[in-house]
Amino acid sequence: MTDLNGERVLVETTQPVLLHVDDFGLTDGLATLQDLAGLPSITPVVPVTASLVFERE
């Protein structure tokens, strides 16, 4: 957490969170997308980071 100006703080992930399509029941949809796009493969895991700014009222 970083105090930006006394009224706003910045919160960021320290490392990526790995999202797996099977955790969300999207494996079949990923296979369909792969077929429609004509791709040899699509990675079923996506790294996600976040940066959020919170403002005090």
Q: Provide the pLDDT for residue 9.
A: 95
For 11-36, the pLDDT digits (tens) are: 999 999 999 999 999 999 999 999 99
Average pLDDT over residues 24-51: 95
Q: Provide the pLDDT for residue 57.
A: 81
Please enumerate in sequence order all residues whose Cβ is within 8 A of that of 23, keeping only pairs 6 or more positions apart, or say none: none
d(CA 26, CA 45): 11
Residue 3 tokens read as 């105090």
Identify the band that residue 6 occupies on the pLDDT scale cut at 50, 70 and 90. confident
Please tell me whether residue 5 adopts helix, strand or coil conformation: coil
Q: Provide the pLDDT for residue 1.
A: 83
Q: Which residues are registered as beta bridge partners of 54?
A: 9
Q: Domain spans of the chain?
A: 2-55
Nearest alpha carbon to residue 39 among 50, 28, 31: 31
Q: Provide the pLDDT for residue 56.
A: 86
